[in-house]
Structure 1
Amino acid sequence: MNRIEKKLKELEEKKQKAFITYMTAGLPSIKGTEEIIRAQAEAGTDIIELGVPFSDPVADGPVIQAASFKSIQLGTNLEKVFGIVEDVRKDCQIPIVFMMYYNTILYYGVERFVDRCIASGVDGLIIPDLPFEEQGEINGYLLKKNAPILIQLVAPVSKQRIPMLLEKARGFVYCVSTMGVTGQSTGFHKDIRKYLSEVKAASSIPVMMGFGISSAKDVEGVKDIIDGAIVGSAFINLMEKNDYNVDVIKEYCSTFKKELNA
């Protein structure tokens, strides 16, 4: 069983919500990224989305764009991100999902990329610029043993597409809570409960909510529907403002997890 599926099964048995974070690989450094991953595992984070820096992250707002640019300037590339996962896997088994753009995979070579994911211990992939209709090539390679799960994203405009998107989905479904890019503070979609309820009704796997979340209080009004929350831009801001202090990171993750399950 994939690490993501195993973790989500454990949470279901404990009747707990999942706490998922996004962090940009390579910040504050390669070793610093590894340290933060291990710290989060200790603090109770359930799954980590590890952002592979890209020059044009179209689904992301200014916070993650800036983090991606800074990481690239430090020399981070896909091979080094694979190295991060390999090093972490020596003593840490927290589920790790690559959040990345398809150009990076195409340039690396799709089959080679999947094989490298398997060898290094990557558990899942989120590729926001890869439409469902164009997932055939990579899905063909993801049928291999121990290959990562391709996480499906749905948005408030998905509507009639939701059953199709979720028919063979694995791991969890990533529900985008607002229209636009990550890190927006303009509030969730006006019909957020109706939208999340429709996804939940159509899904046989856990439903996670992301975009625009900074604390457990942000999801209080939909906690009865969702199975977990994803924090990205707010988490990056926290780390930046506190110079990537591991103690601050652990406190934030531990607190969020407790409040989410209060």
Structure 2
Amino acid sequence: MSRISQAFQQARTNGRPLFVSYLCAGDPSFDTSLAACKSLIEAGADILELGAPFSDPLADGLTNQLAAQRALEGGMTQAKVLDLVREIRKFSEVPVVLYTYYNLVFAPGEADYARQAKEAGVDGFLVLDLPPEEAGSWQKVCADEGLDTVFIVAPTTPTERIAKIASAATGFIYYVSRTGVTGERSELSADLKDSVAQIRSVTDLPLVVGFGVSRPEHVATIGAIADGVVVGSALVNCLASNLEQPEAGVATLKTKAEELIGGLA
């Protein structure tokens, strides 16, 4: 059983949803990024979603675009993303999902990249711009390496396509609760409960919900209807607001994560 499956199984046993935390790998530096990941794990994050910094992150809002820019300017590379995972594996078995774009998978070759990722300790991938219809070869190499392939369902996805996405996904399905790009929002979508029910009607895979989640009450609302809650921009902003004092940024990040995770209590 994969680390991801174990995490969801344990959560069900405990009667609580998972907290999935997103950070851009290498933002604003390798060392700070590693410290930030460690602080999230200490705060109680159940899954780490690490963004691979990319020059054209089309699914990301301004917060995560700037995080990717900082990481790239700080010298982060795809090889160093895997080095970061290796460092995390020295102190934690928390599942790690890489949030990436297909160019970064295609350039080194799907099979070689999947093998390197598995060896580093990665558990799964969410390739933002790779739809299931085009993912056959990638799904195969990931299956060969025991890596999960996570796919996204959007508010505009018709029911028949949700079933197709679910058949391609392993590990879990990621429901983006709002159309558009990533970023903090003041309110959750009004039809969130109905959308989650629609997805559950066609798949038994665990379902996590993200995009716009920034408050403990958001976490509580989603946690009551989904298997996991994803928070990204609200955490990334903790680092972005303390670029001159990275240690303070990491401390702020841990406090914010603990506050949000408290919404699951």
* Partner Cα separation in structure 1 for residue 39 and residue 186 of structure 2: 31
User: 5+ unaligned residues in a row in structure 2: which ranges?
Assistant: none
Equivalent residue runs for 1:54-73 within 5 Å: 54-73=54-73
1:89 and 2:89 matched: yes
Q: Is the 8 A contact 1:215 1:256 kept in 2?
A: yes
1:111 and 2:111 matched: yes
User: 5+ unaligned residues in a row in structure 1: which ranges?
Assistant: none
* Partner Cα separation in structure 1 for residue 30 and residue 43 of structure 2: 20
Aligned partner of 2:74 in structure 1 is 74
SS at match of 1:142: helix
1:249 and 2:248 matched: no
Q: Is the 8 A contact 1:44 1:254 kept in 2?
A: yes
SS at match of 1:175: strand
Amino acid at match of 1:237: N
1:4 and 2:18 matched: no
* Partner Cα separation in structure 1 for residue 24 and residue 202 of structure 2: 31
Amino acid at match of 2:96: I
Amino acid at match of 1:150: T
* Partner Cα separation in structure 2 for residue 249 and residue 103 of structure 1: 30
Q: Is the 8 A contact 2:220 2:263 kept in 1?
A: no
Query: How far 1:168 moved relative to its partner?
Result: 4.7
SS at match of 1:153: strand
Q: Is the 8 A contact 2:132 2:168 kept in 1?
A: no
* Partner Cα separation in structure 2 for residue 196 and residue 33 of structure 1: 32
**CA-atom RMSD, angstroms?**
1.6
1:157 and 2:156 matched: yes
* Partner Cα separation in structure 2 for residue 10 and residue 219 of structure 1: 19
SS at match of 1:108: coil
Query: How far 1:38 moved relative to its partner?
Result: 1.6
Q: C-alpha deviations, 1:180-217, integer Å up to 9, x for none?
A: 11115374444322111111222212211100011221
Amino acid at match of 2:157: S
Amino acid at match of 1:139: Q
Q: Is the 8 A contact 2:188 2:213 kept in 1?
A: no
Q: Is the 8 A contact 2:19 2:229 kept in 1?
A: yes
TM-score by length of 2: 0.93
SS at match of 1:19: strand
Aligned partner of 1:197 in structure 2 is 197
Aligned partner of 2:210 in structure 1 is 210
Aligned partner of 2:138 in structure 1 is 138
Q: Is the 8 A contact 1:25 1:33 kept in 2?
A: yes
TM-score by length of 1: 0.94
* Partner Cα separation in structure 2 for residue 29 and residue 113 of structure 1: 23
Query: How far 1:58 moved relative to its partner?
Result: 0.5
Aligned partner of 1:36 in structure 2 is 36
* Partner Cα separation in structure 2 for residue 40 and residue 199 of structure 1: 29
Q: C-alpha deviations, 1:58-103, integer Å up to 9, x for none?
A: 0011110111111111111100111111122122111111000000
Query: How far 1:249 moved relative to its partner?
Result: 2.0
Bigger Cα displacement from structure 2, 95-104 vs 25-34: 25-34
* Partner Cα separation in structure 1 for residue 178 and residue 236 of structure 2: 19
* Partner Cα separation in structure 2 for residue 219 and residue 200 of structure 1: 19
* Partner Cα separation in structure 1 for residue 59 and residue 99 of structure 2: 11
Using a 3 Å threshold, how does the CA distance of structure 1 residues 248 and 186 change in structure 2: closer, same or farther? closer
Give the % identical residues: 32
* Partner Cα separation in structure 2 for residue 57 and residue 141 of structure 1: 24
Q: Is the 8 A contact 2:82 2:117 kept in 1?
A: yes
SS at match of 1:167: helix
* Partner Cα separation in structure 2 for residue 250 and residue 186 of structure 1: 21
